Structure 1
Amino acid sequence: MSSKDNKARVDIYAKITDRIVAELEKGVRPWVKPWSAAHTTGRVTRPLRHNGLPYQGINTLLLWSEAVSRGFVSPTWMTFKQSIELGGHVRKGETGATVVYASRFTRTETDDRGEEVERGIPFLKAYTVFCADQIDGLPEQYYLNPAPATDPVERIAHADAFFANTGAVIRHGGNQAYFQPALDIVQMPPFESFRDAPSYYATLGHELTHWAGSEKRLDRDLSRYHKDRASRAHEELIADLGGCFLAADLGIVPELEPRPDHASYLASWLEILKNEKRFIFAAAAHAQRAVNYLHELQPADGRAREAA
């Protein structure tokens, strides 16, 4: 990879991280914004591609933040070319949002012994997308208002089934929520102690993100969680993101104000983000893997319904 290409990658990481830092410095977690009062008229969803497939990982955060800051209603995003292919056109003067595509390619190199070896080279590419709200002439379905939220009882029942299907041991009692790796259990305060049902399920999603990362499952390194402040802040960011991703996937609309025991992490996240430009990318990727893992534990027919 040339030094020019490497600099471009660094600039992408820095640009996106700096934007998130600016939000955190205002006391706002940008990945929580979609649950503000203005965004509860319809079902909360992930940002969607032009073909209806949801964005994942860091792109979810970027487009959620962009939609709220600019007042967009449609969850659908597409490139300039895709809008033309669908018969639409981006209105003059509109500016797009940055999303990224991460992958790797294989390169053959010669090692110290003179033998050829295959080496995987990661790369990151940024491109621009526009919200359907910025585009005229698209097919009618791209302009439909968000569907009314489904019955809360039905939606929460679905969340109950989702968490039960994971097989996690969930115990209730006390006034703290946490995952205990030694016992492999999730401890939750009593359901009735939460201000509302969505807050309970959002907190449970946060803790199940920790649970999914245990050595028995995705094997994230949790060994220094109680020993090192930076390690703890990193893991809590993963769980915070994972809880938000799950809430969107399950149609739960909690207010998601920072928990008192997590408010102190904002300062830690800011400190790390300012020094490690790839920190948020890694955290979002880990969170996405945890959420994917929890979805994979669902019965096949349940996964089909979620994808519908």
Structure 2
Amino acid sequence: MIMADYKKYNTDGRSSEDRALDKFAEMMIEKINTLQNDWKKPWFSEGSLTWPKNLSGREYNGMNALMLMMHCEKQGYKLPVFCTFDRVAGLNFNKDKQGKRQQVKDNNGEALPQATILKGEKSFPVFITTFTVVNKETREKIKYDDYRLMSEERRKEYNVYPKLQVYNVFNVAQTNLQEARPELYKKLEAAAGVNRPLNQGDDFSFPAMDKMIKENGWICPIKPVYGDNAYYSISKNEIVIPEKRQFKDGESFYTNLGHEMAHSTGAENHLGRLRPASFGSAEYAREELVAELSAALVAQRFGMTKHLKEDSASYLKNWLDSLKESPEFIKTTLTDVKKASHMINQHIDAMQLKIDQEQSQEAEQKQEKAPTMYYASVAYLQTTDATDRLDKFKNDGNYDALLTEAKEYDQGDAPELSKINLSPTKYRGDDLLVEDEHYAVVYNPTVGGTYDVMRKVSAEEIKDNIIRYDLPEDATDDVKKVAKLMEKEEVVAQEEEQHYHRGR
């Protein structure tokens, strides 16, 4: 084992925190040894895992996420979802109205199989910070969630005491959830899909980071300029990075930018991590490790692959020596990685939310501008008609082909005003099978089955037909409403015309 010369935390009466940090250090040394043998390898296998979560879908923080991903790679776990023993046991019960535990049953009243951790499986440690909130005067304790909902003024009445605790978790592969709770397991699989930015290769794009650069949405300016070096300037508090087209692909641009963003989080007015350090010193090397691990974590969260920076490869031996010689090194480094990656993720998430909101508003505006469309029946096919092909397409579920076939029944004549409605379904049993921008097909299974082929028309087209052919007595109510609107528009136009002439 590579840990023979490793100085462990407090070998006498070691706490669960000490043992967890020892395990983390061992894994980090093993990972860096692998990179030292081939520094061109990525920090994590390409496209292997998404960000680790618990059963409720909540993401683990940077420190835990980093070690859990390494743990998944080492053990071959495909689904990065973890749970405690108690959480799995809790799946077997729910509480009734009196608060008593009742065994979980299916829809038929039968008890569901017991969800459990598989025999012989070993847990993995994670660090969870819990908070005790105490009123300064009454010494009464309240829940941290309630404290977070308070105003800043009310919060001043309480003291908050954080405590770092170690919890032991299991990967879902170490449970029988796939058999005992198949529906839950399928949801976990679906939620673990890789969230990759748009396009790959040269066209690789990450809209949230692009917008962050363009709108100066990061904690310091990011300046893509033609050049050879990417760096964060402490004195100018800015990131300079070569233009995207200079990198071998878009992914390399974003992951290198992530490295420099991690450095910038250490500025004095943010995390206060950066200190004047000479190039090549132990402190400088530690900062490089913080930036590399933070960038690798962020990249993994958003479906990218982070390779070790070429100029960071020279620090591999220094990192190994520090991990082996200083038990405190792993704790302080992982704590800084947690804070830096969290800050980057927060800003990216905020920018993505802004993009989503803008796209939603744009879609709503387009919807508002889009004219109201009506459905004009242009062909009504009954059992006596040749509907064999339509029946086959319907039965096969090939609705695109059905719509294409149905369009052939439109002769292009002006739609009858007695057959135009706002809704495509008018009668009991009507089923809108398929529609596109211009046509729709409604099927009704009663009386052997009928197909109503409809062309979509605008209010302006209806108005033109009314002007051309007059309004028939059997016009639909929706068409009559359009006609009334025409009358109002005509009155308004006449009043405006009269007002214009009086003004002259």
Q: Distance in 2 between matches of 1:26 and 1:298?
A: 30
Partner residue of 2:304 out of 249, 253, 264: 253
Q: Distance in 2 between matches of 1:21 and 1:183?
A: 35
2:169 is aligned with what amino acid? Answer: V
> SS of 1:129's equivalent?
strand
1:241 is aligned with what amino acid? Answer: L
Task: Identify which range, 148-157 or 272-281, moves more after superposition.
Answer: 148-157
Partner residue of 1:281 out of 331, 352, 356: 331
> SS of 2:67's equivalent?
helix
1:24 is aligned with what amino acid? Answer: I
1:95–1:163 CA distance, 2 compared to 1 (3 A): farther
1:231 is aligned with what amino acid? Answer: E
1:305–1:142 CA distance, 2 compared to 1 (3 A): farther
Task: Identify which range, 257-266 or 88-97, moves more after superposition.
Answer: 88-97
Q: Distance in 1 between matches of 2:117 and 2:235?
A: 54
Correspondence for 1:116: none
- Cα-to-partner distance string for 1:88-118 (whole Å, 9 max, x where unaligned): 2222233322222356879xxxxxxxxxxxx
Correspondence for 1:243: 295
Correspondence for 1:66: 71
Correspondence for 2:366: none
Q: Distance in 2 between matches of 1:262 and 1:64?
A: 21
Q: Distance in 1 between matches of 2:349 and 2:83?
A: 32
Correspondence for 2:491: none
Q: Distance in 1 between matches of 2:82 and 2:344?
A: 26
Correspondence for 1:114: none
Q: Distance in 2 between matches of 1:271 and 1:284?
A: 16
1:233 is aligned with what amino acid? Answer: A
Asked whether the equivalents of residues 213 and 223 of structure 2 are also in contact (C-alpha less than 8 Å), the reply is: no
1:163–1:291 CA distance, 2 compared to 1 (3 A): farther
Higher relative contact order (CA 8 A, sep 6+): 1
Correspondence for 2:116: 89
Q: Distance in 2 between matches of 1:299 and 1:8?
A: 34
1:289–1:124 CA distance, 2 compared to 1 (3 A): closer
Q: Distance in 2 between matches of 1:299 and 1:62?
A: 22
Report the alpha carbon displacement of residue 239 of structure 1 after superposing the two structures with TM.
0.7
1:298–1:196 CA distance, 2 compared to 1 (3 A): closer
Correspondence for 2:34: 26
* TM-score, length of structure 1 as denominator length: 0.78
Q: Distance in 2 between matches of 1:94 and 1:125?
A: 22
Q: Distance in 2 between matches of 1:219 and 1:269?
A: 21
1:218–1:156 CA distance, 2 compared to 1 (3 A): same
Correspondence for 2:228: 175
Partner residue of 1:127 out of 161, 167, 171: 167
- Cα-to-partner distance string for 1:177-197 (whole Å, 9 max, x where unaligned): 111111222121221221211
> SS of 1:128's equivalent?
strand
Q: Distance in 1 between matches of 2:163 and 2:32?
A: 27
Correspondence for 2:320: 270
Residue 142 of structure 1 pairs with residue 188 of structure 2: yes
1:33–1:71 CA distance, 2 compared to 1 (3 A): farther
Correspondence for 2:442: none
* Residue correspondences, number: 284
Aligned-pair identity in percent equals 23
1:161–1:133 CA distance, 2 compared to 1 (3 A): farther
Residue 46 of structure 1 pairs with residue 51 of structure 2: yes
Correspondence for 2:126: 99
1:241–1:80 CA distance, 2 compared to 1 (3 A): same
Give unmatched runs, 5+ long, in structure 1. Answer: 107-119
1:99 is aligned with what amino acid? Answer: V
Q: Distance in 2 between matches of 1:75 and 1:304?
A: 28
Partner residue of 2:257 out of 175, 181, 204: 204
* TM-score, length of structure 2 as denominator length: 0.50
Report the alpha carbon displacement of residue 301 of structure 1 after superposing the two structures with TM.
7.4
Report the alpha carbon displacement of residue 38 of structure 1 after superposing the two structures with TM.
5.8
Larger radius of gyration: 2
1:133–1:304 CA distance, 2 compared to 1 (3 A): farther
Report the alpha carbon displacement of residue 142 of structure 1 after superposing the two structures with TM.
2.4
Report the alpha carbon displacement of residue 122 of structure 1 after superposing the two structures with TM.
7.7
> SS of 1:26's equivalent?
helix
Q: Distance in 1 between matches of 2:352 and 2:245?
A: 28
Task: Identify which range, 213-222 or 263-272, moves more after superposition.
Answer: 213-222
1:305–1:141 CA distance, 2 compared to 1 (3 A): farther
Q: How does 1:8-23 map to 2 (within 5 A)?
A: 8-23=16-31
- Cα-to-partner distance string for 1:167-226 (whole Å, 9 max, x where unaligned): 5232423212111111222121221221211111011011011112112332223212x2
Q: Distance in 1 between matches of 2:296 and 2:87?
A: 28
Superposed CA RMSD in Å reads 3.4
> SS of 2:256's equivalent?
helix
1:294–1:253 CA distance, 2 compared to 1 (3 A): closer
Q: Distance in 2 between matches of 1:299 and 1:13?
A: 30
1:132 is aligned with what amino acid? Answer: V
Q: Distance in 1 between matches of 2:298 and 2:194?
A: 20
